[in-house]
Chain A
Amino acid sequence: MGVQIDLIVPPIIVGLLIILIFRMNSFMMESSADTRLINDVQSQADVAMDVIQEEIRGINTNAVSFSQDTMRYSKFSEESGTITSRDFILVRDNGNGQLKLHFQNIATGNPDSLVYGINLSSLEFSSPQSHILRVRLETESDPAQHVRFRNDTQTVRAVSERDFFLRHRMFQNATTP
Chain B
Amino acid sequence: MATGQTLLTLASIVLLGIISMSIRSTYLQSVNNSVQTQYSSDALDYGRTLSERIQAYSSEPSLYSELVNDFGGLNDETDSSSRLEYISPAGETLYATIEISAEKVVLFDQMGREVTIRVFDAKNENDIELISEYVTVVVNLFES
Which residues of A are in contact with B by a Cβ distance under 8 Å? 20, 24, 27-28, 31-32, 35, 38-39, 42, 45-46, 49, 131-132, 136, 158-165, 167, 169-170, 176-177
Given contacts A131-B59, A161-B89, A165-B56, contact A42 B41 (CB under 8 A): yes
Question: How many residues in B have their beta carbons less than 8 Å from beta carbons of A?
Answer: 28
B33 interface neighbour in A32, A35, A160, Cβ under 8 Å:
A35
The stretch of B47-55, B71-79, B110-118 in contact with A is B47-55
Q: Is B6 an interface residue (CB 8 A)?
A: no
Closest to B91 in A: A159
B37 interface neighbour in A39, A136, A159, A161, Cβ under 8 Å:
A39
Chain A interface secondary structure, helix, strand, loop or mixed? mixed
Given contacts A35-B33, A35-B34, contact A162 B45 (CB under 8 A): yes
Contact between chains at A177 and B144 (CB < 8 Å): yes
Which residues of B are in contact with A by a Cβ distance under 8 Å? 16, 19, 23, 26-27, 30-31, 33-34, 37-38, 41-42, 45, 48-49, 52-53, 55-56, 59, 61, 88-90, 141-142, 144
| Min C-beta distance of A32 to chain B, whole Å | 8
Interface centre among B26, B42, B49, B52 (most CB of A within 10 A): B52
B89 interface neighbour in A24, A159, A165, A177, Cβ under 8 Å:
A159
User: Which chain B positions have C-beta within 8 A of A39?
Assistant: 34, 37
**Which 5 pairs from chain A and chain B are nearest by CB?**
A163-B49, A165-B52, A165-B56, A159-B89, A38-B34
Complex: how many Å from CA A177 to CA B33? 52
Contact between chains at B23 and A28 (CB < 8 Å): yes
